[in-house]
């Protein structure tokens, strides 16, 4: 099975909601991919070294 990885960095609920809808319908449902979870960053987390390292660590674990 193919695997899709969604890691969204959004700054507002409306942006995140739209991205989640597209992801679920275009990627997961249409292409039958596996959902691997969500990474999100808000406010000060955006572009923070800690969040970047968290994302890199996840990538290394794949």
- pLDDT, one tens digit per residue, over 8-62 is 444 445 567 788 888 888 888 888 888 887 777 777 888 889 988 988 998 898 8
- Return the HEC string of the chain: CCEECCCCCCCCHHHHHHHHHHHHHHHHHHHCCEECCCCCCCHHHCCCHHHHHHHHHHHHHC
pTM higher than the cut 0.85: no
- The two three-digit tokens of residue 5, written as one number: 């990885």
How far apart are the C-alpha atoms of 62 and 26, rounded to whole Å? 23
Q: Is the pLDDT of residue 7 over 50?
A: no
Torsion of the alpha carbons at 20, 24, 27 and 32, rounded to the nearest 10:
160
pLDDT, position 6: 45
């Amino acid at each position: 099975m193919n695997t899709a990885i969604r890691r969204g960095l959004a700054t507002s609920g409306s942006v995140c909601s739209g991205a989640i809808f597209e992801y679920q319908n275009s990627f997961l449902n249409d292409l039958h991919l596996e959902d691997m979870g969500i990474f999100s960053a808000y406010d000060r987390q955006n572009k923070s070294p800690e969040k970047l390292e968290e994302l890199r660590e996840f990538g290394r674990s794949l």
